Structure formats: C-alpha cells, structure tokens
Chain A
Amino acid sequence: MKSQRLFKILALALWAWISAPAQAHVGSPTVFFQGLAGSYPIRVTIRPPGVVPGLAQIQVIVSSGDATKVTVRPVRWDVGVKGSPAADTAVLVPGETNMYSAQLWLMKSGAFSVFVEVTGPRGDGVAIVPLNSIAVQRLVMARGMVALFLAGGLFVAILLISVVGAAVRDARLPAGEEPSPVHRMRGWCARGITAGLLTAGLYLGNTWWNKVDKDYRLNRLYRPAAIQTELKTAPGGDRRLVLSFSQESHIDSTPLVVDHGHLMHLFLIHEPDGGVFAHLHPKRVQQKDTNESVFNLSLPALPAGNYKLYADITRESGLTQTLTNNLSVPAPAAEAGTSERTADSDDAVLIGAPKALSSVSMPGGFHLAPAFSDDLRVNEETNLVFYLTTADGAVAPLEPYLGMYGHLMIENSDGAVFNHLHPLGSVSMVSQRLFAERERAGFLANKPLDQFCTAALPELSFPYAFPKAGVYRLWLQTKVAGKILTGAFTITVK
C-alpha cells in the first residue's frame, strides 16, 4: 500500500497525470464515403484525430484501378478552397494497386470537407467528403509513459538538486582547494532550497496542468448540445413531444438547414430491448428573441416505456450533430387507440424486437436479406449489404426515401454509438451540397462532381467499421411502392 501511495504522490509531483476515461460520444468518428469522383468509383475512409489541431488519416480506394494521381485537400467551411493549402498527393500503399493514403492536419474545430481529386485516363474528378473537426478524446496516459516520466523526472530533479549543491559548495573555490565545512553546509542549504523551489514549481505546474485540462474539457472537447424534452398530453389524448435546445454552441452556431427534406430527424428507440423504433420528423416552432430552437410533433401511439432519443441536425456550415436524451413514454390514453399513425408521411415506426441476422419478411410480401458475414470485428472495414426482393424473388424496385434508397441506423446496445448511414457512407448529403455550392463558381466550376443520389443498385450497401465490441442493433429503412419498409437486426461485434 505504501508503494502505491508513493507512486501516487510521485505521479502528482511529476505531473504524470492520468485523465478520466474519454467521454462517450454518439456515433463513431470515422467517416466513410463511397461514390464517384468524376467517373472514378472511389471509397474514402477518414479517421479524424481525437483532438484539434490534429492529424486525420485518409485512405482512398479507386475501385476502377486506373487512377494516375489522387490528391486530398482539407477545406474549412468559412474559407473554402481559397483558404486551403495546396492539395497533398496521396501515396499508393505499398503492395496495393488502387489504395492510396494521406494525412491531413485539421487545425480548427468546425465543419470541414476533404476534397478528393482523382486524375486518370478519363480526366479529373472530385468528390467532397464532409467531416466534423471536433475534439472527442481525453487521452489517458499509458502506464509505460507514466513510468518514463516518473523515472526521467526523478532523475532530472535529483540531478538539479545535486548540481546546485555542488555549484554552491565548490564553484567559487580557487582551483585545487578543498571545500571547508562552511562551504559544505552552504551546499546542503542550497540543495534544500532547490528541493523546496522544485516542489513549489511542481505544485504550480500541476495547478497549471489542471487548469489547461479544465479549459479543454469545458471549451474545446465536443459535448453534444443538451436537448430538453417535454411530453404534453392534450384532452383528446394527442401527445405532443416538445424538444428544445440552444442554438448557440462553442463550436458552431450557424443556423440549421434542411437535410433530406427535414430540419430534424428524430429517432426513438425503446430500451433496453430495441423493441420499438421510430424515425420521426418534428417541425420547428419559431421562437423570437431567443437563441433556443424549439421543435414539436404529435407522438404516434408508441408502447409505454423508456426510450433513447437521438436527434440529427445539420447546420449551415455543414456541421452535423446528434443530440441525445432519454424519454419516458407513459401508456397512451384508452381513447387514443393503438394505431401507429404518424404526423408526417416520412415518419415510420416499427414495433418488434430486432432479430438475428437472417432474411426477414416485410409487409407487401417483400423479403429483406442481409448478405454479409456475422463474424464482425472491431474497426474492421466492411460493407453491410442487404437485398430487398419481392415475393417471387425478384429485386424490389426501390424508390428514394428521404433522398436515398436506403438508410441504416446502427445503435450499440449501451447507447454509446449511434450512426445514421446511407449507401454513400456516413457523410451528410446536405453538408456535401453546401460545400459544393460554395465552390460552384470557383474551384468546382467545370469539374464533374457526384453528390446526389445515383440510380438504384440491386443491393443496398453501407460502408462501415464498428468502433467498439458489443451487441449492435441495425434498422434498415427503404421505400417501395410508396411504402416505407423497416427491417431490424441484431449482431455481435467482437
């Protein structure tokens, strides 16, 4: 115990501070994109740094394999390409024929995009891959590093005390003269004073470090904005959910913009079983002279219970945010009925627990079949592929739903991860469009750009890598013959 206590004291004295575990954040930070850069099919993976400023790792796969050059450029929303450095050439990964990698510094928080430019025999093409540049990690110092700093710090501290003592004792003596007892005493006094000053310096240093860390946690580390919920029941049994949050944010306070036809995409997931899934679209209530955004909606007749609430919003800058809270839904009044009636034609509710990975039957005789292995590993890139077929086995004629042929919502059972994916990846389409519009007259003039929903493919494929081990639930939404279909699955990631 003594040695443990000593270790703690030394750790404090030498600033070998160990931070608390990183805050949970919604969604995995890695950004996935698959689409076209001109006529080149590409797949881009961006692993943003945990801190800002920091270094993002970028990987580009040109599926056609005929690229002669791939460049990447970080573009911040407020300055555009004009305020960006020259593009960096991505290097071909050794042993690969079509995989390129690069690193880019993200120097400020906020909405960024990586402009990926591919050059080859079919000309040039650009793809815009938006990402949030935000600090999400609070680093824990590894034990090896603590040991290094303890050992190194102790060494330089003892050396300093010894040097000062020896200097005061001997430095002014004529050459060859031995120090007298008075000189020796002065040396020891100097050692004591140095040790005292060193301790005071370490204390002040520790205070400073704590101040920096507090500032980081409060002002630089991304915290999803708090969203308040209020459930009001009208005399007729209609239940209105009122959501409010501050428009101001320490990272970005630009106005909200419409994404996939709505200002907010609200997901309610019944806890702990995921047995109810609702994808709803509240409407904003204008509030004058206030920085608060207020939304409300008529809540469909959801089964009673506790729900996890995720609200996706996008800002004018291109920054996307997921606001979270919990919601307790009481049993509906008897006169309200039990229908799954929704207020918006894009709303959809599925009642039924997610099932193990296998083909599921859908209303209208459709079948939704996952076509990927259930042997999934953490941080391993994969394509989550699904096929929707008619009763006779033909490929179902998909229709765009909210601007995309498919939406895949992924939630870790502990609520630490929530992602909303499309076949083009985890990027926001409206962010992509905003960045493109800002460059239309400049950098992107006369350059082909793929940014919209392309023709339907037989399969629905979502690029992803699960950020942590555990049980995940997947809800896939698509639209056929004007009806929204939702399939739910559960998988375990090792």
Chain B
Amino acid sequence: MSSQSHALPDEFAAAPSSTAVGRIGGVPWYCYAVAFGAACSPIGSIWDISWHLSIGRDTFWTPAHMMVYLGGGVPGLICGWLVLKNTFWPDPAEESATVRLWGFRGPVGAWVVIWGAFTMLLSGPFDNWWHNAYGLDVQIISPPHVILALGTYAIAIGALLFVISWQNRAPPGNYLAANLLVLFASGILLTELSIFTTEYTYPNAQHGGVFYEVCCRSLPLYLIVAARVSKIKWGATWASLIYLTIRMAMVWILPLFPSEPRLAPIYNPITHMAAPPFPMLLFVPAVAIDLLMQARGEKGGFWRDTRLALFLGGAFFLLLLAVQWPFSEFLLSEPSRNAFFAGNQMWGYPDRIGAWCTRFWDKGSDLLGLKTAAAAILYGALQSRIALWFGNWLAEVKR
C-alpha cells in the first residue's frame, strides 16, 4: 500500500470520462449503487413502521428489515471494496482523489459509509438486548434506534459525500449525472429526517407549536445544502420532490397489500397495510429557499451567510405554516379519505379508533403562539446557518 500522493497534472485528473467502461453519464456504477443502496434504509424504515402497525409480529427476517439491511449492506460492502481496491490495487487517477486513514485509502464518502455500516451492525445486538430488557419497542425513538438511525444517516451522508466529490471534480458541462445523484442523496437525507420526526409530524400535530419547532430544527438542513451544492438550479426543490416522491409512493403502495394483525389486543382490525401519513408539501418552502439562495448569489462571507440564514429560517417557517396549516385540516377531513391522500388510514391495529383520530391534538397545551413561532424561526435560522456552513464545505469536497 502506498501513503504517497500521486502528482497529477491538474485537479481534475481523477475526473470521470463519459466514455469509460462501467460509467453512466461519467459517473461509475458504484456511485449509483451507493446512492440507491442508501435509499433502501428510509424505504425499509417506512415499510417497517407500517409493518408494526399492520401486522405487528416481526422477526429479524421480515422484508422491511431486509430492506433496511440492504441499505446498510450494499453501500457498506461497495465502499469496503473501494477502500481495499484503492489501497492494494490502486488506479493512480482514482487513488489520488482519496483520503488516507489507518494506512488505507478511500474516498471520504466511502469512509463515512463504512462507519455507518459498522454502527448499524453494532446497533443490532444492542437493540436485541434492549427488547429483552425493556420489551419489544413500540416507539421509534429509543437509544438503540438512535444508534441505528445514526448508522443509516451516516450512510446517506456518506453517499452524498461520495457523489458530491464526483460532481465537484467533473469537468464543466459533464456534471449532470453526478449532480442528479447529489440531489437524490439530499432527498434521501431529507426523507430520513422526516422519518425520525414522525412522532411529531402527524397531520393531527400540525396546528401545534412542537410540530413547527421540530420541523424548523431539522428539515431546512438538506434543502439548503442541496441548493448550495447543486450546480443546476432549484436544488432544494429537486431534493424536496425526491422526498415527496418516495413518501407518496409508500402512501400509495403499502395499502395495496392485504395484511392481518398477528398480535393481541387488536383494537382496530385493519385488513391492509397502514399508510404512512401523507408527506408535507416541503416543495413550497423549498422553492422559496432556492429563490432566496439564487437572489443572494453564491457562497458569501460569514455575515452575509448569517443574514441569509435569518431570511431562510423565517421563510421556511412562514411557508411551512402557510401550507401545512390548511393542508393538515384537509388531511383530517372527509375529502382526504381516498387512495391518493390516504387520510385517516395511518392507524394501526393497536389504536382505538375514535374522535381523536380526526382532530388536532393538544390544542390546549401546545398552542402555536408568538413565542413558539419566534422560537421556531430562531431554530430555523440556526439550522439554516449550519446548513450554509456545511453546504459551503461540501461544495469544495473533491475526494
């Protein structure tokens, strides 16, 4: 193995050639494999939540679990192979665009993916022990699940880093495929964040302050990152559409499958897989993010980005409020109860169906007042500032 760098004539020496074998649009097959592999985890997670609500009984080998494992296994194995290849059988051009770690060489995204895969692996026995100690989880957010989520999240970030280095190294005019993969990976990350905030983002919670605080704390991140790193316009909008597509596909596909609850007590005898809640219409704040980012130009200085973050945080909150407030009312109403919006179809067998299903929750204790709105805007601005900083850094990643 070599720890020496290989001097190349210019920084694009490792850039893709659109005619190289195994490449599509100038991007090697393994970039697609890592990006699409990473998508398996959020899809598997949404499926798994529906499985728990519809069938209940699960094992290590349920299809939903297998999908999550694929999301860790495929990118993890490909990235492991890439590290070994770059270390022991290096292609000088590719090896020069790697980072060195413990004597091995690999793209930075590959290292993050490998870390994510190991973390997912570690969460397995911990989750099993947790079930034995405290019972089978009926909560999404538990310590072993957080470790699992960190692993899947790292894999998605690794995939983003992986494809972004190809985009940033691509010769002018030859970055489209890599750029689309970057937007795809951003959409995957947005979807993962939305899964982790599921318990706070039911339509019934969307008139409460907590919903807006939670959304402003988490969701602007990858919309803004996408807008900043994308070489094509409307990066945030594209990422939000990826999120919307994945989640809507799950809303439409899952209820097509018959299912039968296999655990007692059954309070709601459903006959088909429960649909996830209809996704948020994030493309509206995403368009605003793109417009603001386009208006303020490319990467700015610290203060300029800070001012931009304030605008972004405020715009995100106001547009999310403008869209989700009435849309959640619609989702709780009778006209939404159809196959497209799947209104009131998200409840599982353990839920005692009642008036609470179609009304807003905690209207008394979780009011969206001025104070909560200000807090949400502040969280949104902070999140936007972090996103701009991270986006600026990502925009320069070349390895």
Using a CB–CB cutoff of 8 Å, the interface residues on chain A facing chain B are: 15, 19, 49-54, 73-76, 78-79, 83-86, 105-108, 112, 135, 138-139, 141, 145, 148-149, 152-153, 155-156, 159-160, 162-163, 166-167, 169-178, 205, 208-209, 212-213, 216, 220
Contact = CB atoms under 8 A, between A and B. Distances in A.
Contact of B111 (A166, A172, A177): A166
Nearest to A105: B263
A169 B99 contact: yes
A110 to B, nearest CB: 9
Contacts of B100: 166, 170
A388 B288 CA distance: 89
- Which of A108, A156, A171, A172 has the most chain B CB atoms closer than 10 A to its own CB? A171
B135 interface: yes
Contacts of B393: 172
- Helix, strand, loop or mixed for chain B's interface? loop
Nearest to A137: B133
B102 A156 contact: no
Contact of B115 (A79, A152, A156, A171): A156
B398 A79 contact: no
Contact of A84 (B10, B97, B121, B266): B266
Contacts, number: 161
Contacts of A139: 129, 132-133
26 contacts: A51-B131, A53-B138, A54-B131, A79-B267, A84-B265, A85-B264, A86-B262, A106-B264, A107-B138, A108-B265, A112-B264, A139-B133, A149-B122, A166-B99, A170-B99, A170-B108, A171-B108, A171-B397, A171-B398, A175-B8, A175-B11, A175-B13, A175-B93, A175-B96, A176-B96, A212-B134
A258 to B, nearest CB: 26
Given A52-B135, A166-B108, A85 B261 contact: yes
B115 A160 contact: yes
A51 B135 contact: yes
A167 B7 CA distance: 20
Contact of A172 (B119, B135, B398): B398
A208 B145 CA distance: 13
Given A86-B262, A159-B115, A53 B126 contact: no
A209 B130 CA distance: 10
Nearest to A152: B122
B397 A78 contact: no
B350 interface: yes
B233 interface: no
B251 to A, nearest CB: 25
A174 B142 CA distance: 41
Nearest to A84: B264
3 nearest A-B pairs in the assembled complex, by CB-CB distance = A174-B11, A170-B99, A139-B133
B143 A209 contact: yes
Interface residues of B, number: 58
B14 A175 contact: yes
Interface in B383-399: 393, 396-399
A51 B133 contact: yes
B59 to A, nearest CB: 11
Contact of B56 (A107, A156, A176, A208): A107
A411 to B, nearest CB: 29
B118 interface: yes
Interface string B256-279: 000011111111010000000000
A209 B111 CA distance: 29
Contacts of B101: 162-163, 166
Nearest to A108: B265
Nearest to A178: B5
Contacts of A148: 125
B125 to A, nearest CB: 6
A152 B121 CA distance: 9
Contacts of B266: 79, 83-85
A220 B96 CA distance: 57
Contacts of A177: 5, 11
B8 A176 contact: yes
A19 B96 CA distance: 50
A359 B80 CA distance: 73
A220 B137 CA distance: 13
Nearest to B393: A172
Nearest to B57: A105
Contacts of A138: 133
A274 to B, nearest CB: 35
Contacts of A50: 132
Contacts of A49: 135
A108 B264 CA distance: 8
Interface string B1-37: 0000111101111100000000000000000000000
A297 B9 CA distance: 99
